[in-house]
Structure formats: structure tokens, C-alpha cells
Chains A and B, each alone.
Chain A
Amino acid sequence: MIREASRVLKGGGLVVFPSDTVYGLLVDAKNVKAVEKLIALKGRPAGKAISVFVSDFKMLGEIVRIKKDTLATLDRLLPGPFTMVLTSKHTVSKLLESETGTLGVRIPNYDPVTKLVSSCHRPVTATSANISGRPPHYTIGSFLKEISMKKKKLIDLIVDAGKLPRNKPSTIIDLTLPTITVIRKGDITVKDAQTFVSHAPIQTKKIAQYLIQKILVNEPQKPIVFIIEGELGVGKTIFVKGIGEYFGIRNIISPTFVIYFEYQIQKKPIKQLVHVDLYRLEEAEEFKYLGLEKYLEKGNLLCFEWGEKVGPIFEMLKKKGEVVYVKIRYANEGSREIDILDVKQKLKAQNSPLRPSDFAGQAKRKTTT
């Protein structure tokens, strides 16, 4: 299937193809004729940019200029449902660029597209399969219904993956401006490279799913540990529910009462999800009795709510696991800011590692109030 699509693309053909968001229209981004065909099909006004898929950072560097600090941002967010606007190196068709010479690029976390693009050895257009200005499509049928017979003839190949999950089109982030600017909001929006913004529980879940997906890409050799901080009601359990749903677990509830629940997972490479809530823990010594060490093995995923209290076992988690910090804050009514830090950043931000003494301090504060 990939080979056939790749052959059609190389020959200047137009392919309707599924993606991590909606159905897309793919042509070879370097082939002017193919791009013209695409623009004719979409009825896209001239001068309006069309973004492209690349398979990896190497291909990305071949078509856009990447400054050092933007590289850090790209590295944090990609692959994922984002379109990054960067300054074009003019190696793809000029028709795809904006009037100011920028180009939107995507590295999706979606195997069929990345495999296809790498087998073509060239960037491929990443525009949604629809008529310009109309909503995108989640099934092939609804797309075909929208276009005329004449336009249908422009299509060389359709890859039908059935009904796609209702993900929004990607979030478009402009990295050519002095500050990171979100131009279009998709499912996952950001404030900056490490702060995500959620306006609803469903978005918090999507952010969680994006993160776990991103971690799994690197095939971690250690257990994955999410340490989640945030006040009561901010959405910590929602975040873990999002992770659970990614693995097909739909019955996650707050483990506050019994400290932790374990869930068996059928989806590789994770075997077990352990959902811990440290809310009721008050003394460092208590960790001894929970027996959490036995869960720290490859293939397990541990989520700690009330990560503020993780101090006494922090060193152990760091040593044995792949630790991701998640800080959820109330921003304004109805929205949350979610910081994602890896351990190194966490240490830098705090200027010192979490120690058991942090824990004692917390307990003390509580008793004096």
C-alpha cells in the first residue's frame, strides 16, 4: 500500500491519504505540476500557503531554516499534531509558501504518513482533503461527495482507512515571530514549547495522549513515570484518564481512597498502568508500605497524582524510570496550563533536586495551619 502510494507520488500523482488528524491530499512538494494539480482540486486562492509533511528532522532541515533556539522547541513538540511555520529554503515548490516566504511543515506521529514520506525521500504536501474554505473530512465518502466529477479525475489514488477518529486539524504555530504564536488552534494548543493550554477535559486528555505517544516513539527501555502536580479539581485524574484511554482503558476512577489501582494493558509495549494518588500520604515512611518498587520495571507505566509528595522516592524513580513531570495549573475559569518538564529541566527549575526534606516541610506546614 505504502509502496504503491509512493510510486504514484513520485510519478507526480495526487493521493488521498489518511493522517493523524483528517484525510489529506498528498503530492510531491517539489513537483510544480503536481502542486498545481493540487491547487486546482482544492480551489485554493493563490498566495495561500500549503504545508508539507517531512519524515524527520533531517528532511526538515533541507526545506526550512532552523535556528538553534527553534530547534529546541521543535524537538520538544515533534512529532505531533502541529504545523510549524518556518522560513523556507525555497527547495520545495514556491506555490506552497506564503507571501512572506514561510513554509508550514509537519512531522506527524502517524506511522503510515512518516513511512510513506521516507519511502518517497521527499517532502509531501500535507493539506486537508477538502475544498478550500470548507470543513475537513474524516471519511473518504464524505470527501468524494463534496467534489465534482471533473475534480475527481485529478485524483490518482485513494487510500481508504475507514472512518478516522474525530481529531481536529493540526495546531499551527508560527516560529518565525519573536514569540511563539499559535495561528490556528487544533486539539492541542501551546503557550510555549513546554506549556500546553487546555480549555476542556477532553483537551487535557488529548495532551496526555499526545505525550504518551511521543514517549513511546523513542521505545523507552525503562518504566515510564508521570509525576503530576496540581491543586484539587485541576484535572489530574482527567489527565490519567486520557493516558488510560490511549491504551483502551475506559474505567479509570480516582484512586484517592485506596492509594493506587493497577490496570492490565493489551496494547504493546505497555503491559500495566499503575495509577497512584499520593493525596493521603503524609509521611515519607509510608512509601515503604506501598510496595511501589515492584512496579518499576520495563513495560510498566506509573502515574503519580499529587506528585508534590513524591520526594522520598524521587531518586529511585529517576534512577529506575523515565520520568516526565506534569504541572497542571488553573489559568482562568475553564482553562488550564500544563507544563511538561523532563527531569533535567525540573532540576534546573528548582535549582536542587527534590529531597525527603521537602516532604517533611510540607507535612509541617499542614499541621500548623
Chain B
Amino acid sequence: MVILAIETSCDETAASVTSERRVLGNAVYSQVLIHKKWGGVVPSLAKRAHEERIDFVIEEALRKFALTNKILAGPAATFPPASARKKLRAVGSPSSRVTHQNFINATTSYIDHIAVTYGPGLAIALEVGINKAKELAIRYNKKVIPVNHMEGHIYSCFTQNSRGNPKRPFRFPYLTLLVSGGHTELVLFKDHITYQILGETVDDAAGEALDKAAKMLGLGYPGGPVIERLSQEVKNKDFYLLPRPMIQSKDLNFSFSGLKTSLFYLLKKKGKEKARRHIRELASSFQEAVFDSIVKKTETAIRQTGINRIVVGGGVSANYNLRTRLRALTEKYRGSVIFPPYPYLCGDNAAMVGVAAYYRAKKGQFLKNLGRLDRVPRLRLGESK
């Protein structure tokens, strides 16, 4: 089953062609470089940029898909069937021989379904992807599979390259930790497409807290990687023992907004000059406070659920220190932890959406009425439209 997946929930315009768990062609248009200049993400780009780039990104994913299939022509290949390969070769990549639109028409004939993220995310950004999915579905007569962005992040850990690596068989149930700029939640992943939120942030997301701390420290954007680097330089030690919000509470919710306040007062007490000299210590202490909360809450979840297999997704899961700490945690409970196998799968991407869509399709969860699909900016896992 070949799926063309579209993801426009926030800043990345992404498209991907997947078959089951394999990624056959992937394209992401990220705006981080533009945003660096401004010290933050520029939301005007949301709608406009998505609209401007979505066609290009989809075409790029299809082009890579066409190329990948030649690579797959070896004996291990099960997809596409020989007849299809022949046809594809005839089509080739967009060249003078095949016109642009012909190429799209030809490649989409190998696509079975179209998947699209319909929430959570920025309303006007989600709309761009949904409208495009509807448009393609009508033009090429495909079924649409609506996908929750967060389940995409869960499936990012099980996403494979075009050769089907890594294997990673499913061993349900899992405890899932999703940490990104927009989300921080602990989810029980019981079976395919079956989730239960155990806890979530009541204010800021972990990645957002790190970005804002970076801003307060006068560091660049994106804040997470800068803080990670500075923290490494002082061996991720905690120097200032900032408070750990909600760590005492027995529930599995997170809160990070109070940390900003603590950092504010710490910076004020130190004064500008001293703060600049101790920037590494400050960055590391802040990151430790955030990660401590994440690790402790995950530990509480392990104890409460008795599940010691952890799946971690979202942009912050790229952080090496967090990975090390979560590995240590699961070792303590004789469990295991898996992260997205390739760096591009940590951030927002369409490949994970395609993989999640495959499991939805297997359950027959197709959109019945195109007109009925609307964006759901605050969509939660385990809740359908």
C-alpha cells in the first residue's frame, strides 16, 4: 500500500511517499534558516509559505519516490511489482521527455491513498494541507486518511528507510513520551492506533520552555540545540538547582512556565555581566530542570503502568543528554527505549504521517466524506473528530 502523506501542522511544509513502514520519498521545507534571522519562527510564513511550497514539496517527494524505486530494483525488493517498475522507468524523473504534469500524473498512479495531518496545530497552516489533500483526492480519485500529528510522532520511532531498516517489531503496549516545541505528553500506546493520554503539559511545552530560556539568555534560535551545546560544555551539570515544577504531584502532568519565572529572578540577581560569564552554567541548569521533570514523570508512568518499553518522539528527543538519561532510566527498570531512527524523523515530517496512516488504513479508517474533514487545532490522541 503506497501512501502520499502531507503534513503542514505548523512551520514545516512536508510530503512523503511511504509503503507500510518504509519511506520511499521524503521532502521537507523547513523555515528555520529564515527564522534564525528573526530569533523566532515567523508565522506569516505559515499560511503563505505552505501555500507557496506545498506543490513543490509534493513533487519533490514524488520525484524521490520515482528514483528510490530504481534503487529498490534488487532481489530484496517487494515493491513495486515488476510491471510497475517498468512503467516507472518509462516515466523517469521530470525531464524534457516527460512534461511536468505528466510526471505527477504518472507517479500518482502508483499512489493508493492520501494521508494528511488534520490536527493538532496552527489552524491556518493545517488548512493548507487539508485543502491540498482534498484537491488531489478528487483529481486522482484517491481515498483520504486523516492523521493526528501526535500519532505521527509516535510512529516516527517505527519508520524505516526505503530498505526496511531498522526492523523494530512492535511489542505492545508501549509508554510514549512526546516532547517537542508544541507538545509534551505521556501516552499509553496500547495497540495500533489505540492511545490514551496519561499526562500532558498544563502550560508550556518542554521545547517551548527551552526556546524561551534561550531567548532570556540572549542566545539564538532555535534555542534547544544552542542550550544543548552549551550544557555539554559544562557536562550537563546542575549549578543553580532551579525548582522542579509539579515533580511532587502524583499525576503525570507537566508544567514549565514557573521555570521561566525562576530563571528571570536568577538572571536579575546575577546581573548582566555575571550572567554572561556563567551562560553555560545557566543554560545547563535550566536544561537539567526541564529534563529532570521529564525523566521523573516518565519514571512515575513506568511505575504506575508497569510498562518499561518506552517510545520517544518529537524535536526534543534529538537531544543527546535526554536520550542518555532516558536510556539510564529504562535500564533501571530492565526495559528498553527507542527514539526516531533518523534525525529528520525527530522534527515535523510527513513520513511519520504516512506510516501512521498505513495502520489507520489497515483498520479501514478512511475519510468517508471529503467535505466533512476540517482542521482540529486542539486534537488530542485517543479522540476522533
The docked-state distance in angstroms from the alpha carbon of A364 to that of B48 is 23
B41-A233 in contact (CB<8A): no
Given A256-B208, A257-B208, A258-B122, are A280 and B257 also a contact pair (CB < 8 Å)?
no
Given A233-B260, A257-B208, are A285 and B121 also a contact pair (CB < 8 Å)?
no
Question: A238 interface residue, CB < 8 Å from B?
Answer: yes
The docked-state distance in angstroms from the alpha carbon of A80 to that of B172 is 55
Question: B261 interface residue, CB < 8 Å from A?
Answer: yes
Interface residues of B in 168-185 (CB under 8 A from A): 181-183
A257-B44 in contact (CB<8A): no
B42-A282 in contact (CB<8A): yes
A232-B43 in contact (CB<8A): no
Instruction: Report 29 cross-chain contacts, Cβ distance below 8 Å, ordered by A residue.
Output: A232-B215, A233-B212, A238-B257, A241-B203, A253-B202, A254-B204, A254-B205, A256-B204, A256-B212, A257-B10, A257-B205, A257-B208, A258-B9, A258-B120, A258-B121, A258-B125, A259-B46, A279-B40, A281-B43, A282-B39, A282-B42, A283-B44, A286-B42, A286-B43, A286-B44, A289-B47, A290-B44, A366-B39, A369-B218
Chain A residue numbers with a CB within 8 Å of B41 are 280
Chain B residue numbers with a CB within 8 Å of A330 are 264-265
Question: B61 interface residue, CB < 8 Å from A?
Answer: no
Interface residues of A in 264-287 (CB under 8 A from B): 279-283, 285-287
The docked-state distance in angstroms from the alpha carbon of A263 to that of B124 is 16
Question: B82 interface residue, CB < 8 Å from A?
Answer: no
Chain B residue numbers with a CB within 8 Å of A57 are none
B257-A237 in contact (CB<8A): yes
The docked-state distance in angstroms from the alpha carbon of A282 to that of B43 is 9
Given A232-B216, A291-B124, are A280 and B203 also a contact pair (CB < 8 Å)?
no
The docked-state distance in angstroms from the alpha carbon of A289 to that of B44 is 5
B215-A289 in contact (CB<8A): no
> Chain A contact residues: over half helix, strand or loop, or mixed?
mixed
Chain B, Cβ-Cβ closest to A236: B257
* B263 → chain A closest CB, angstroms: 7
Question: A262 interface residue, CB < 8 Å from B?
Answer: yes
Residues of B in contact (CB 8 Å), total 44
Chain A, Cβ-Cβ closest to B260: A233
Given A232-B216, A253-B202, are A285 and B257 also a contact pair (CB < 8 Å)?
no
* B211 → chain A closest CB, angstroms: 8
Chain A residue numbers with a CB within 8 Å of B377 are 258, 261-262
Cβ contact of A234, chosen from B122, B124, B261, B378, cutoff 8 A: B261
Chain A, Cβ-Cβ closest to B121: A258
Chain B residue numbers with a CB within 8 Å of A262 are 123, 377
A233-B257 in contact (CB<8A): yes
Chain B residue numbers with a CB within 8 Å of A254 are 203-205, 208, 257
The docked-state distance in angstroms from the alpha carbon of A262 to that of B48 is 21
A232-B260 in contact (CB<8A): yes
Question: B365 interface residue, CB < 8 Å from A?
Answer: no
* B48 → chain A closest CB, angstroms: 6
* A254 → chain B closest CB, angstroms: 5
**Listed residue (A234, A279, A363, A366) with the most chain B CB atoms within 10 angstroms of its CB:** A279
Interface residues of B in 1-33 (CB under 8 A from A): 9-10
Question: B161 interface residue, CB < 8 Å from A?
Answer: no
The docked-state distance in angstroms from the alpha carbon of A281 to that of B44 is 8
Question: A288 interface residue, CB < 8 Å from B?
Answer: yes
Question: A69 interface residue, CB < 8 Å from B?
Answer: no
A237-B203 in contact (CB<8A): yes
A290-B124 in contact (CB<8A): yes
* A286 → chain B closest CB, angstroms: 3
Chain B residue numbers with a CB within 8 Å of A286 are 42-44
Chain B, Cβ-Cβ closest to A285: B44
The docked-state distance in angstroms from the alpha carbon of A330 to that of B260 is 12
A280-B43 in contact (CB<8A): yes
The docked-state distance in angstroms from the alpha carbon of A366 to that of B218 is 10
Cβ contact of A290, chosen from B43, B215, B260, cutoff 8 A: B43
B46-A289 in contact (CB<8A): yes
Chain A, Cβ-Cβ closest to B183: A257
Question: B330 interface residue, CB < 8 Å from A?
Answer: no
The docked-state distance in angstroms from the alpha carbon of A241 to that of B202 is 10
A289-B263 in contact (CB<8A): no
Given A254-B208, A289-B124, are A282 and B40 also a contact pair (CB < 8 Å)?
yes
Chain A residue numbers with a CB within 8 Å of B333 are none
Interface residues of B in 282-324 (CB under 8 A from A): none
The docked-state distance in angstroms from the alpha carbon of A260 to that of B10 is 11
Chain A residue numbers with a CB within 8 Å of B46 are 259, 289
**Listed residue (A254, A260, A291, A330) with the most chain B CB atoms within 10 angstroms of its CB:** A254
A261-B43 in contact (CB<8A): no
Question: A219 interface residue, CB < 8 Å from B?
Answer: no
Chain A residue numbers with a CB within 8 Å of B182 are 257-258
* A169 → chain B closest CB, angstroms: 28
The docked-state distance in angstroms from the alpha carbon of A232 to that of B263 is 10
B43-A259 in contact (CB<8A): yes
Question: A75 interface residue, CB < 8 Å from B?
Answer: no
A257-B265 in contact (CB<8A): no
Question: B79 interface residue, CB < 8 Å from A?
Answer: no
Chain A residue numbers with a CB within 8 Å of B201 are 253
Cβ contact of A258, chosen from B10, B257, B264, B265, cutoff 8 A: B10
Chain B residue numbers with a CB within 8 Å of A363 are 38
Contact mask A143-178 → B, CB, 8 Å, 1/0?
000000000000000000000000000000000000
Chain A residue numbers with a CB within 8 Å of B212 are 232-233, 256
